[in-house]
Structure 1
Amino acid sequence: MGYGLTISGVLNCRDGFTAAGRISLAGARVGELGFDDATISGYGDLALGLRRVRAEMLWLSRCTLTEGTVDLRHARISILRDDPAHWPARPHLDGFVYETIDKPGPLAARLAWLNAADGYHPQPYEQLAAVFQGMGRDVEARTVRLAKQRRRRHTLPPIARAWGVAQDWTVGYGYRPLRAGILLAALLAIGTALFAAHHPVPLKKDEAPAFNPFLYTLDLLLPIISFGQEPAFNPRGPYQWLAAALIASGWILATTIAAGITRVLSRQ
Protein backbone atom coordinates (compact mmCIF):
# COMPACT_ATOMS: atom_id res chain seq x y z
CA MET A 1 0.00 0.00 0.00
CA GLY A 2 1.30 3.45 -0.88
CA TYR A 3 -1.70 5.74 -0.33
CA GLY A 4 -0.71 9.39 -0.71
CA LEU A 5 2.92 8.52 -1.40
CA THR A 6 5.07 11.36 -2.76
CA ILE A 7 8.19 10.64 -4.85
CA SER A 8 9.84 13.36 -6.88
CA GLY A 9 11.81 10.89 -8.99
CA VAL A 10 11.01 7.50 -10.52
CA LEU A 11 9.09 4.63 -8.94
CA ASN A 12 10.33 1.71 -11.01
CA CYS A 13 8.32 -1.53 -10.90
CA ARG A 14 9.52 -2.74 -14.29
CA ASP A 15 11.59 -5.40 -16.06
CA GLY A 16 10.48 -8.55 -14.28
CA PHE A 17 8.97 -6.94 -11.17
CA THR A 18 6.51 -9.34 -9.49
CA ALA A 19 3.87 -8.60 -6.85
CA ALA A 20 1.82 -11.24 -5.03
CA GLY A 21 -1.47 -9.44 -4.40
CA ARG A 22 -2.70 -5.99 -5.30
CA ILE A 23 -0.73 -2.75 -5.45
CA SER A 24 -2.47 0.43 -4.30
CA LEU A 25 -0.95 3.85 -4.90
CA ALA A 26 -4.15 5.88 -4.69
CA GLY A 27 -3.50 9.59 -4.39
CA ALA A 28 0.26 9.22 -4.92
CA ARG A 29 2.42 11.96 -6.47
CA VAL A 30 5.22 10.48 -8.56
CA GLY A 31 7.63 11.84 -11.15
CA GLU A 32 7.57 8.70 -13.31
CA LEU A 33 5.71 5.49 -12.56
CA GLY A 34 6.70 2.35 -14.44
CA PHE A 35 5.12 -1.11 -14.69
CA ASP A 36 6.59 -2.31 -17.98
CA ASP A 37 7.09 -6.09 -18.04
CA ALA A 38 5.71 -6.39 -14.50
CA THR A 39 3.47 -9.19 -13.22
CA ILE A 40 0.88 -8.42 -10.55
CA SER A 41 -1.29 -11.23 -9.26
CA GLY A 42 -4.00 -8.97 -7.85
CA TYR A 43 -6.79 -9.80 -5.49
CA GLY A 44 -10.52 -9.88 -6.18
CA ASP A 45 -11.48 -7.32 -8.82
CA LEU A 46 -8.43 -5.07 -8.38
CA ALA A 47 -4.76 -5.58 -9.13
CA LEU A 48 -3.35 -2.09 -9.66
CA GLY A 49 -4.95 0.83 -7.83
CA LEU A 50 -3.85 4.15 -9.32
CA ARG A 51 -6.90 6.24 -8.47
CA ARG A 52 -6.14 9.99 -8.28
CA VAL A 53 -2.45 9.37 -9.02
CA ARG A 54 -0.44 12.32 -10.38
CA ALA A 55 2.63 11.51 -12.51
CA GLU A 56 4.65 13.00 -15.35
CA MET A 57 4.79 9.61 -17.09
CA LEU A 58 3.04 6.28 -16.65
CA TRP A 59 4.59 3.15 -18.23
CA LEU A 60 2.16 0.26 -18.67
CA SER A 61 3.48 -1.67 -21.67
CA ARG A 62 3.29 -5.44 -21.29
CA CYS A 63 2.05 -5.25 -17.70
CA THR A 64 0.45 -8.59 -16.79
CA LEU A 65 -2.37 -8.66 -14.22
CA THR A 66 -3.22 -12.29 -13.49
CA GLU A 67 -6.33 -11.33 -11.52
CA GLY A 68 -8.27 -8.11 -11.23
CA THR A 69 -7.93 -4.91 -13.23
CA VAL A 70 -6.41 -1.42 -13.06
CA ASP A 71 -8.16 1.58 -11.47
CA LEU A 72 -7.18 4.92 -13.04
CA ARG A 73 -10.24 6.94 -12.10
CA HIS A 74 -9.41 10.64 -11.83
CA ALA A 75 -5.69 10.03 -12.32
CA ARG A 76 -3.72 12.72 -14.14
CA ILE A 77 -0.74 11.79 -16.30
CA SER A 78 1.34 13.97 -18.60
CA ILE A 79 2.56 11.14 -20.85
CA LEU A 80 0.97 7.71 -21.14
CA ARG A 81 3.15 4.96 -22.57
CA ASP A 82 1.26 1.70 -22.93
CA ASP A 83 0.19 -1.04 -25.30
CA PRO A 84 -3.59 -0.86 -25.88
CA ALA A 85 -3.70 -4.54 -26.88
CA HIS A 86 -2.37 -5.65 -23.48
CA TRP A 87 -4.67 -3.82 -21.09
CA PRO A 88 -6.62 -5.97 -18.62
CA ALA A 89 -10.34 -6.46 -19.03
CA ARG A 90 -12.75 -3.86 -17.62
CA PRO A 91 -10.26 -1.13 -16.62
CA HIS A 92 -11.68 1.78 -14.62
CA LEU A 93 -11.00 4.85 -16.79
CA ASP A 94 -13.66 7.41 -15.85
CA GLY A 95 -11.95 10.73 -15.14
CA PHE A 96 -8.53 9.50 -16.34
CA VAL A 97 -6.72 12.48 -17.89
CA TYR A 98 -3.50 12.36 -19.92
CA GLU A 99 -1.92 15.03 -22.07
CA THR A 100 -0.49 12.75 -24.75
CA ILE A 101 0.10 9.10 -25.64
CA ASP A 102 3.66 8.16 -26.50
CA LYS A 103 2.64 5.42 -28.93
CA PRO A 104 -1.12 5.44 -29.62
CA GLY A 105 -1.00 2.23 -31.68
CA PRO A 106 -3.73 1.14 -34.11
CA LEU A 107 -7.01 3.01 -33.73
CA ALA A 108 -8.96 -0.28 -33.57
CA ALA A 109 -6.92 -1.44 -30.57
CA ARG A 110 -7.33 1.93 -28.86
CA LEU A 111 -11.11 1.81 -29.35
CA ALA A 112 -11.20 -1.75 -28.02
CA TRP A 113 -9.39 -0.42 -24.92
CA LEU A 114 -12.19 2.09 -24.31
CA ASN A 115 -14.97 -0.34 -25.17
CA ALA A 116 -13.57 -2.84 -22.66
CA ALA A 117 -13.76 -0.29 -19.82
CA ASP A 118 -16.07 -0.81 -16.88
CA GLY A 119 -19.47 0.55 -17.96
CA TYR A 120 -20.22 3.45 -20.31
CA HIS A 121 -18.67 6.79 -19.41
CA PRO A 122 -18.35 9.58 -22.01
CA GLN A 123 -15.20 11.16 -20.53
CA PRO A 124 -12.68 8.47 -21.60
CA TYR A 125 -13.87 8.81 -25.22
CA GLU A 126 -13.71 12.60 -25.15
CA GLN A 127 -10.27 12.44 -23.53
CA LEU A 128 -8.86 10.18 -26.25
CA ALA A 129 -10.53 12.27 -28.99
CA ALA A 130 -9.01 15.46 -27.54
CA VAL A 131 -5.54 13.86 -27.49
CA PHE A 132 -5.88 12.71 -31.11
CA GLN A 133 -7.11 16.14 -32.12
CA GLY A 134 -4.15 17.76 -30.35
CA MET A 135 -1.87 15.47 -32.36
CA GLY A 136 -3.47 16.69 -35.59
CA ARG A 137 -5.25 13.38 -36.17
CA ASP A 138 -8.73 14.76 -36.75
CA VAL A 139 -10.08 11.69 -38.56
CA GLU A 140 -9.22 9.47 -35.58
CA ALA A 141 -10.75 12.03 -33.20
CA ARG A 142 -14.05 11.95 -35.10
CA THR A 143 -14.00 8.14 -35.16
CA VAL A 144 -13.54 8.02 -31.38
CA ARG A 145 -16.48 10.39 -30.85
CA LEU A 146 -18.58 8.28 -33.21
CA ALA A 147 -17.65 5.19 -31.14
CA LYS A 148 -18.79 7.08 -28.03
CA GLN A 149 -22.24 7.69 -29.52
CA ARG A 150 -22.55 4.04 -30.54
CA ARG A 151 -21.60 2.87 -27.05
CA ARG A 152 -24.03 5.34 -25.49
CA ARG A 153 -26.82 4.08 -27.74
CA HIS A 154 -26.85 0.73 -25.92
CA THR A 155 -27.78 2.51 -22.68
CA LEU A 156 -30.88 4.20 -24.16
CA PRO A 157 -34.52 3.05 -24.25
CA PRO A 158 -35.73 1.29 -27.44
CA ILE A 159 -37.21 4.35 -29.19
CA ALA A 160 -34.08 6.43 -28.57
CA ARG A 161 -31.93 3.52 -29.76
CA ALA A 162 -33.92 3.35 -33.01
CA TRP A 163 -33.45 7.07 -33.57
CA GLY A 164 -29.75 6.61 -32.84
CA VAL A 165 -29.52 3.88 -35.48
CA ALA A 166 -31.10 6.26 -38.01
CA GLN A 167 -28.57 9.00 -37.16
CA ASP A 168 -25.70 6.52 -37.32
CA TRP A 169 -26.75 5.00 -40.64
CA THR A 170 -27.42 8.30 -42.38
CA VAL A 171 -24.79 10.76 -41.10
CA GLY A 172 -22.72 8.82 -38.57
CA TYR A 173 -24.07 11.04 -35.76
CA GLY A 174 -22.78 14.06 -37.67
CA TYR A 175 -19.22 12.74 -37.92
CA ARG A 176 -19.77 11.14 -41.37
CA PRO A 177 -21.64 13.88 -43.31
CA LEU A 178 -20.62 12.43 -46.68
CA ARG A 179 -22.98 9.50 -46.05
CA ALA A 180 -25.99 11.81 -46.22
CA GLY A 181 -24.83 13.20 -49.57
CA ILE A 182 -24.31 9.71 -51.01
CA LEU A 183 -27.71 8.54 -49.77
CA LEU A 184 -29.43 11.65 -51.11
CA ALA A 185 -27.77 11.21 -54.51
CA ALA A 186 -28.81 7.53 -54.64
CA LEU A 187 -32.45 8.31 -53.78
CA LEU A 188 -32.45 11.17 -56.30
CA ALA A 189 -31.16 8.90 -59.05
CA ILE A 190 -33.70 6.16 -58.29
CA GLY A 191 -36.63 8.57 -58.11
CA THR A 192 -35.60 10.38 -61.28
CA ALA A 193 -35.30 7.15 -63.26
CA LEU A 194 -38.64 5.72 -62.07
CA PHE A 195 -40.65 8.93 -62.49
CA ALA A 196 -39.07 9.53 -65.91
CA ALA A 197 -40.52 6.20 -67.01
CA HIS A 198 -43.90 6.74 -65.30
CA HIS A 199 -45.01 10.36 -65.22
CA PRO A 200 -47.49 11.22 -62.44
CA VAL A 201 -50.82 12.70 -63.48
CA PRO A 202 -51.07 16.53 -63.30
CA LEU A 203 -53.63 17.78 -60.76
CA LYS A 204 -54.66 20.64 -63.08
CA LYS A 205 -53.76 19.76 -66.64
CA ASP A 206 -54.02 23.28 -68.03
CA GLU A 207 -52.01 24.86 -65.16
CA ALA A 208 -49.35 22.25 -64.47
CA PRO A 209 -45.76 23.06 -65.50
CA ALA A 210 -43.85 20.73 -67.80
CA PHE A 211 -42.99 17.62 -65.80
CA ASN A 212 -39.34 17.27 -64.82
CA PRO A 213 -38.55 13.95 -63.08
CA PHE A 214 -35.34 15.27 -61.55
CA LEU A 215 -36.93 18.38 -60.03
CA TYR A 216 -40.01 16.39 -59.01
CA THR A 217 -37.87 13.89 -57.07
CA LEU A 218 -35.84 16.73 -55.56
CA ASP A 219 -39.11 18.36 -54.49
CA LEU A 220 -40.10 15.18 -52.68
CA LEU A 221 -36.74 14.78 -50.95
CA LEU A 222 -36.23 18.38 -49.78
CA PRO A 223 -38.85 19.15 -47.12
CA ILE A 224 -38.43 22.95 -47.17
CA ILE A 225 -37.45 24.01 -50.70
CA SER A 226 -40.10 23.77 -53.44
CA PHE A 227 -39.53 23.73 -57.19
CA GLY A 228 -43.25 23.75 -57.98
CA GLN A 229 -43.32 20.15 -59.20
CA GLU A 230 -44.57 18.13 -56.23
CA PRO A 231 -47.83 20.12 -55.63
CA ALA A 232 -48.67 20.04 -59.35
CA PHE A 233 -48.64 16.26 -59.91
CA ASN A 234 -50.33 13.28 -58.29
CA PRO A 235 -48.62 9.87 -58.53
CA ARG A 236 -50.85 6.79 -58.48
CA GLY A 237 -50.57 3.15 -57.50
CA PRO A 238 -47.13 2.00 -56.36
CA TYR A 239 -45.64 5.34 -57.37
CA GLN A 240 -47.72 7.02 -54.69
CA TRP A 241 -45.93 4.81 -52.15
CA LEU A 242 -42.61 5.67 -53.77
CA ALA A 243 -43.36 9.38 -53.41
CA ALA A 244 -44.32 8.86 -49.75
CA ALA A 245 -41.11 6.94 -49.11
CA LEU A 246 -39.03 9.71 -50.68
CA ILE A 247 -40.79 12.36 -48.59
CA ALA A 248 -40.23 10.34 -45.40
CA SER A 249 -36.58 9.77 -46.34
CA GLY A 250 -36.11 13.47 -46.95
CA TRP A 251 -37.46 14.37 -43.50
CA ILE A 252 -35.32 11.73 -41.80
CA LEU A 253 -32.22 12.94 -43.63
CA ALA A 254 -32.98 16.59 -42.84
CA THR A 255 -33.57 15.99 -39.12
CA THR A 256 -30.58 13.67 -38.68
CA ILE A 257 -28.30 16.09 -40.53
CA ALA A 258 -29.55 18.95 -38.34
CA ALA A 259 -29.00 16.86 -35.19
CA GLY A 260 -25.54 15.85 -36.37
CA ILE A 261 -24.51 19.41 -37.23
CA THR A 262 -25.76 20.63 -33.84
CA ARG A 263 -23.77 17.91 -32.07
CA VAL A 264 -20.56 18.66 -33.97
CA LEU A 265 -20.88 22.45 -33.55
CA SER A 266 -21.45 22.01 -29.81
CA ARG A 267 -17.99 20.41 -29.67
CA GLN A 268 -16.32 23.47 -31.15
Structure 2
Amino acid sequence: MGASVEFHEARLTNRSGSTLTTWGLTVGGALDCCEGFVSHGRVSLTSSRIASALCLAGATMVGSLSLKKIRASSVKTDDRTLLRGPVDFRHAHVEVLADVPARWPDDLRLDGLVYDHLETALPLQGRLAWLGKETLGYLPQPYEQLAATYSRHGHDVAARGVLLAKCRRHRRSQPAALRVWGHVQDWTVGYGYRPVRAAGWLLLLLLIASIAFGVHHPPAVKANEAPPFNSFLYALDLLVPVVGFGQEEAFRPAGWQQWLAAALIAAGWVLATTIAAGLARTLSRR
Protein backbone atom coordinates (compact mmCIF):
# COMPACT_ATOMS: atom_id res chain seq x y z
CA MET A 1 0.00 0.00 0.00
CA GLY A 2 1.47 3.35 -1.01
CA ALA A 3 1.49 6.52 1.02
CA SER A 4 -1.38 8.99 0.91
CA VAL A 5 -1.21 12.77 0.59
CA GLU A 6 -3.47 14.63 3.01
CA PHE A 7 -4.62 18.25 3.02
CA HIS A 8 -7.08 18.06 5.91
CA GLU A 9 -8.14 21.57 7.00
CA ALA A 10 -5.46 23.14 4.81
CA ARG A 11 -6.17 26.72 3.70
CA LEU A 12 -4.43 27.87 0.55
CA THR A 13 -4.77 31.34 -0.93
CA ASN A 14 -3.43 32.80 -4.17
CA ARG A 15 -6.34 34.63 -5.74
CA SER A 16 -4.44 35.61 -8.88
CA GLY A 17 -2.65 32.31 -9.46
CA SER A 18 -2.31 28.67 -8.43
CA THR A 19 -2.58 27.31 -4.93
CA LEU A 20 -1.88 23.65 -5.68
CA THR A 21 -0.28 22.04 -8.73
CA THR A 22 0.49 18.31 -8.96
CA TRP A 23 1.02 17.74 -12.66
CA GLY A 24 1.98 14.11 -13.26
CA LEU A 25 2.09 13.27 -9.55
CA THR A 26 1.84 9.58 -8.62
CA VAL A 27 0.18 8.87 -5.28
CA GLY A 28 0.32 5.32 -3.94
CA GLY A 29 -2.69 5.88 -1.69
CA ALA A 30 -5.33 8.60 -1.49
CA LEU A 31 -5.11 12.28 -2.37
CA ASP A 32 -7.17 13.74 0.43
CA CYS A 33 -8.48 17.27 -0.17
CA CYS A 34 -11.48 16.92 2.10
CA GLU A 35 -12.75 17.74 5.57
CA GLY A 36 -12.12 21.46 5.69
CA PHE A 37 -9.75 21.89 2.75
CA VAL A 38 -10.12 25.46 1.42
CA SER A 39 -8.47 26.89 -1.67
CA HIS A 40 -8.78 30.39 -3.13
CA GLY A 41 -6.95 30.05 -6.43
CA ARG A 42 -6.35 27.55 -9.22
CA VAL A 43 -5.92 23.86 -8.38
CA SER A 44 -4.45 21.60 -11.04
CA LEU A 45 -4.16 17.83 -10.61
CA THR A 46 -3.63 17.30 -14.35
CA SER A 47 -2.30 13.84 -15.32
CA SER A 48 -1.96 12.73 -11.68
CA ARG A 49 -2.13 9.03 -10.87
CA ILE A 50 -3.97 8.24 -7.65
CA ALA A 51 -4.04 4.60 -6.57
CA SER A 52 -6.89 5.14 -4.13
CA ALA A 53 -9.46 7.93 -3.81
CA LEU A 54 -9.36 11.58 -4.72
CA CYS A 55 -11.50 12.95 -1.92
CA LEU A 56 -13.20 16.34 -2.29
CA ALA A 57 -15.85 15.72 0.39
CA GLY A 58 -16.29 18.83 2.48
CA ALA A 59 -13.82 20.81 0.35
CA THR A 60 -14.26 24.45 -0.69
CA MET A 61 -12.52 25.60 -3.87
CA VAL A 62 -12.88 29.09 -5.25
CA GLY A 63 -11.14 29.02 -8.62
CA SER A 64 -10.63 26.55 -11.43
CA LEU A 65 -10.04 22.86 -10.77
CA SER A 66 -8.27 20.74 -13.37
CA LEU A 67 -8.81 16.99 -13.16
CA LYS A 68 -7.80 16.56 -16.78
CA LYS A 69 -6.27 13.17 -17.62
CA ILE A 70 -6.18 12.01 -14.01
CA ARG A 71 -6.32 8.32 -13.18
CA ALA A 72 -7.95 7.42 -9.86
CA SER A 73 -9.73 4.48 -8.28
CA SER A 74 -12.47 6.88 -7.17
CA VAL A 75 -13.44 10.54 -7.00
CA LYS A 76 -15.64 11.52 -4.09
CA THR A 77 -17.74 14.61 -3.39
CA ASP A 78 -20.59 15.09 -0.94
CA ASP A 79 -23.31 17.59 -0.02
CA ARG A 80 -20.74 19.83 1.67
CA THR A 81 -18.48 20.13 -1.38
CA LEU A 82 -18.41 23.68 -2.70
CA LEU A 83 -16.78 24.29 -6.08
CA ARG A 84 -16.90 27.86 -7.34
CA GLY A 85 -15.07 27.81 -10.61
CA PRO A 86 -14.77 25.74 -13.78
CA VAL A 87 -13.89 22.05 -13.47
CA ASP A 88 -12.04 20.31 -16.30
CA PHE A 89 -12.69 16.54 -16.19
CA ARG A 90 -11.67 15.83 -19.79
CA HIS A 91 -10.02 12.52 -20.63
CA ALA A 92 -9.92 11.41 -17.00
CA HIS A 93 -10.37 7.76 -16.06
CA VAL A 94 -12.07 6.94 -12.76
CA GLU A 95 -13.07 3.49 -11.62
CA VAL A 96 -15.82 4.68 -9.25
CA LEU A 97 -17.46 8.11 -9.45
CA ALA A 98 -18.80 8.59 -5.93
CA ASP A 99 -20.15 12.10 -6.34
CA VAL A 100 -23.21 14.25 -5.78
CA PRO A 101 -24.07 15.47 -9.30
CA ALA A 102 -25.67 18.70 -8.11
CA ARG A 103 -22.49 19.81 -6.33
CA TRP A 104 -20.50 20.18 -9.55
CA PRO A 105 -20.40 23.75 -10.88
CA ASP A 106 -22.24 24.91 -13.98
CA ASP A 107 -18.94 25.34 -15.85
CA LEU A 108 -18.00 21.70 -16.40
CA ARG A 109 -16.02 19.91 -19.10
CA LEU A 110 -16.71 16.18 -19.40
CA ASP A 111 -15.60 15.15 -22.89
CA GLY A 112 -13.53 11.98 -22.71
CA LEU A 113 -14.29 11.26 -19.04
CA VAL A 114 -14.50 7.50 -18.52
CA TYR A 115 -15.81 5.81 -15.38
CA ASP A 116 -16.61 2.18 -14.65
CA HIS A 117 -19.18 2.58 -11.88
CA LEU A 118 -21.45 5.24 -10.41
CA GLU A 119 -21.85 4.93 -6.67
CA THR A 120 -25.17 6.81 -6.94
CA ALA A 121 -26.53 5.98 -10.39
CA LEU A 122 -30.11 7.22 -10.09
CA PRO A 123 -32.24 9.36 -10.22
CA LEU A 124 -31.71 9.89 -13.90
CA GLN A 125 -32.70 13.58 -14.02
CA GLY A 126 -29.87 14.50 -11.68
CA ARG A 127 -27.35 12.84 -13.99
CA LEU A 128 -28.85 14.49 -17.07
CA ALA A 129 -28.60 17.88 -15.36
CA TRP A 130 -24.95 17.05 -14.64
CA LEU A 131 -24.32 16.34 -18.33
CA GLY A 132 -26.12 19.58 -19.16
CA LYS A 133 -23.36 21.52 -17.36
CA GLU A 134 -20.94 20.74 -20.19
CA THR A 135 -19.89 24.14 -21.50
CA LEU A 136 -18.46 23.14 -24.89
CA GLY A 137 -21.85 22.51 -26.49
CA TYR A 138 -23.10 19.21 -27.86
CA LEU A 139 -20.59 16.39 -27.32
CA PRO A 140 -21.83 12.79 -27.74
CA GLN A 141 -19.22 10.99 -25.62
CA PRO A 142 -20.46 12.06 -22.15
CA TYR A 143 -23.97 10.83 -22.99
CA GLU A 144 -22.72 7.57 -24.49
CA GLN A 145 -20.50 6.95 -21.46
CA LEU A 146 -23.40 7.44 -19.04
CA ALA A 147 -25.74 5.29 -21.15
CA ALA A 148 -23.15 2.51 -21.35
CA THR A 149 -22.69 2.60 -17.57
CA TYR A 150 -26.42 2.37 -16.96
CA SER A 151 -26.79 -0.44 -19.48
CA ARG A 152 -23.88 -2.39 -18.03
CA HIS A 153 -25.56 -2.37 -14.62
CA GLY A 154 -29.01 -3.32 -15.90
CA HIS A 155 -30.66 0.12 -15.97
CA ASP A 156 -31.84 -0.21 -19.57
CA VAL A 157 -34.71 2.29 -19.27
CA ALA A 158 -32.33 4.90 -17.85
CA ALA A 159 -29.82 4.16 -20.64
CA ARG A 160 -32.48 4.84 -23.28
CA GLY A 161 -33.42 8.02 -21.46
CA VAL A 162 -29.82 9.23 -21.67
CA LEU A 163 -29.59 8.50 -25.39
CA LEU A 164 -32.89 10.31 -25.97
CA ALA A 165 -31.50 13.31 -24.08
CA LYS A 166 -28.41 13.15 -26.29
CA CYS A 167 -30.56 13.42 -29.42
CA ARG A 168 -32.50 16.33 -27.97
CA ARG A 169 -29.34 18.23 -27.10
CA HIS A 170 -27.90 17.54 -30.54
CA ARG A 171 -31.09 18.95 -32.05
CA ARG A 172 -30.48 22.32 -30.41
CA SER A 173 -27.19 22.67 -32.29
CA GLN A 174 -28.66 21.87 -35.72
CA PRO A 175 -30.04 24.16 -38.46
CA ALA A 176 -33.71 25.09 -38.30
CA ALA A 177 -34.89 22.54 -40.90
CA LEU A 178 -33.17 19.68 -39.10
CA ARG A 179 -34.54 20.88 -35.77
CA VAL A 180 -38.07 20.63 -37.19
CA TRP A 181 -37.41 17.09 -38.41
CA GLY A 182 -35.90 16.28 -35.02
CA HIS A 183 -39.07 17.45 -33.27
CA VAL A 184 -41.11 15.20 -35.54
CA GLN A 185 -38.95 12.21 -34.65
CA ASP A 186 -39.17 13.11 -30.97
CA TRP A 187 -42.95 13.53 -30.91
CA THR A 188 -43.65 10.38 -32.89
CA VAL A 189 -41.20 7.73 -31.68
CA GLY A 190 -38.84 9.52 -29.30
CA TYR A 191 -35.95 9.20 -31.79
CA GLY A 192 -36.50 5.45 -31.76
CA TYR A 193 -36.13 5.15 -27.98
CA ARG A 194 -39.92 5.39 -27.41
CA PRO A 195 -41.27 2.99 -30.09
CA VAL A 196 -44.59 2.54 -28.28
CA ARG A 197 -45.44 6.10 -29.29
CA ALA A 198 -45.55 5.06 -32.95
CA ALA A 199 -48.14 2.37 -32.17
CA GLY A 200 -50.17 4.92 -30.22
CA TRP A 201 -50.17 7.41 -33.11
CA LEU A 202 -51.05 4.65 -35.58
CA LEU A 203 -54.00 3.43 -33.50
CA LEU A 204 -55.29 6.97 -32.96
CA LEU A 205 -55.12 7.83 -36.66
CA LEU A 206 -56.73 4.50 -37.59
CA LEU A 207 -59.59 5.14 -35.18
CA ILE A 208 -60.24 8.67 -36.47
CA ALA A 209 -60.00 7.66 -40.11
CA SER A 210 -62.12 4.51 -39.71
CA ILE A 211 -64.93 6.55 -38.15
CA ALA A 212 -64.63 9.35 -40.70
CA PHE A 213 -64.72 7.04 -43.72
CA GLY A 214 -67.24 4.71 -42.11
CA VAL A 215 -69.83 7.48 -41.67
CA HIS A 216 -69.63 8.39 -45.36
CA HIS A 217 -67.41 6.18 -47.46
CA PRO A 218 -65.89 7.51 -50.70
CA PRO A 219 -67.39 6.42 -54.02
CA ALA A 220 -65.87 3.57 -55.99
CA VAL A 221 -63.66 4.31 -58.97
CA LYS A 222 -65.43 1.51 -60.90
CA ALA A 223 -68.68 0.57 -59.20
CA ASN A 224 -68.94 -2.86 -60.84
CA GLU A 225 -65.37 -3.88 -60.00
CA ALA A 226 -64.81 -2.43 -56.53
CA PRO A 227 -64.55 -4.78 -53.52
CA PRO A 228 -66.84 -4.24 -50.54
CA PHE A 229 -65.78 -1.06 -48.76
CA ASN A 230 -64.08 -1.54 -45.39
CA SER A 231 -63.34 1.72 -43.57
CA PHE A 232 -60.65 0.14 -41.35
CA LEU A 233 -58.77 -1.47 -44.24
CA TYR A 234 -59.14 1.69 -46.30
CA ALA A 235 -57.60 3.79 -43.52
CA LEU A 236 -54.85 1.18 -43.06
CA ASP A 237 -54.20 1.21 -46.80
CA LEU A 238 -53.64 4.97 -46.66
CA LEU A 239 -51.46 4.87 -43.53
CA VAL A 240 -49.12 1.99 -44.36
CA PRO A 241 -46.72 2.84 -47.22
CA VAL A 242 -45.92 0.29 -49.95
CA VAL A 243 -48.21 -2.47 -48.61
CA GLY A 244 -51.64 -2.49 -50.25
CA PHE A 245 -54.98 -3.97 -49.17
CA GLY A 246 -56.87 -3.29 -52.39
CA GLN A 247 -58.97 -0.47 -50.95
CA GLU A 248 -57.06 2.72 -51.79
CA GLU A 249 -57.05 2.13 -55.57
CA ALA A 250 -60.70 1.10 -55.63
CA PHE A 251 -62.20 4.21 -53.99
CA ARG A 252 -61.69 7.89 -54.72
CA PRO A 253 -62.36 10.36 -51.88
CA ALA A 254 -63.54 13.90 -52.61
CA GLY A 255 -63.85 17.15 -50.68
CA TRP A 256 -62.75 17.04 -47.05
CA GLN A 257 -62.16 13.29 -47.29
CA GLN A 258 -59.59 13.89 -50.00
CA TRP A 259 -57.66 16.16 -47.62
CA LEU A 260 -57.98 13.58 -44.85
CA ALA A 261 -56.66 10.85 -47.15
CA ALA A 262 -53.68 13.04 -48.12
CA ALA A 263 -52.95 13.76 -44.46
CA LEU A 264 -53.05 10.03 -43.62
CA ILE A 265 -50.65 9.20 -46.45
CA ALA A 266 -48.22 11.91 -45.28
CA ALA A 267 -48.51 10.76 -41.64
CA GLY A 268 -47.88 7.17 -42.70
CA TRP A 269 -44.65 8.10 -44.46
CA VAL A 270 -43.49 10.20 -41.49
CA LEU A 271 -44.19 7.35 -39.07
CA ALA A 272 -42.51 4.80 -41.33
CA THR A 273 -39.43 7.00 -41.82
CA THR A 274 -39.01 7.79 -38.15
CA ILE A 275 -39.50 4.15 -37.14
CA ALA A 276 -36.90 3.09 -39.72
CA ALA A 277 -34.50 5.76 -38.45
CA GLY A 278 -35.05 4.60 -34.88
CA LEU A 279 -34.47 0.95 -35.77
CA ALA A 280 -31.31 1.85 -37.67
CA ARG A 281 -30.05 3.82 -34.68
CA THR A 282 -30.85 0.94 -32.33
CA LEU A 283 -29.15 -1.66 -34.54
CA SER A 284 -26.07 0.54 -34.95
CA ARG A 285 -25.55 0.47 -31.16
CA ARG A 286 -25.39 -3.32 -31.06
SS at match of 2:90: coil
Q: How does 1:110-125 map to 2 (within 5 A)?
A: 110-118=127-135, 119-125=137-143
* Structure 1 residue 221 displacement after superposition: 0.2
Give identity over the alignment, percent: 53
Other-structure match for 1:105 = 122
With 13-22 and 120-129 compared, the bigger mean Cα shift is at 13-22
SS at match of 1:260: helix
Compute the TM-score of the two structures, normalised by the length of structure 1: 0.97
1-structure distance, mates of 2:115, 2:228? 63
Other-structure match for 2:86 = 69
* Structure 1 residue 103 displacement after superposition: 1.0
Q: How does 1:15-164 map to 2 (within 5 A)?
A: 15-31=35-51, 32-42=53-63, 47-62=64-79, 63-66=81-84, 68-118=85-135, 119-164=137-182
SS at match of 2:58: coil
SS at match of 1:77: strand
The Cα offsets for residues 97-156 of structure 1, whole Å up to 9 and x where unpaired, read as: 000101123111110111121121100000000000011000000000000000000111
Quote the RMSD (CA, aligned, Å). Answer: 0.8
* Structure 1 residue 266 displacement after superposition: 0.3
The Cα offsets for residues 56-96 of structure 1, whole Å up to 9 and x where unpaired, read as: 11112232123x22110000000000011221002100000
Specify the code of the residue in structure 2 equivalent to 1:7.
V
Q: Does 1:238 align with 2:259?
A: no
1-structure distance, mates of 2:123, 2:152? 17
SS at match of 1:14: coil
SS at match of 2:28: strand
* Structure 1 residue 16 displacement after superposition: 1.4
Q: Does 1:12 align with 2:35?
A: no
1-structure distance, mates of 2:157, 2:56? 31
SS at match of 2:117: strand
| Contact map agreement 1:69 1:88 (CA 8 A) in 2 | yes
1-structure distance, mates of 2:234, 2:155? 42
Other-structure match for 2:15 = none
Aligned length: 263
The structure that is helix-richer by fraction is 1
2-structure distance, mates of 1:61, 1:54? 20
Specify the code of the residue in structure 2 equivalent to 1:2.
T
2-structure distance, mates of 1:181, 1:90? 41
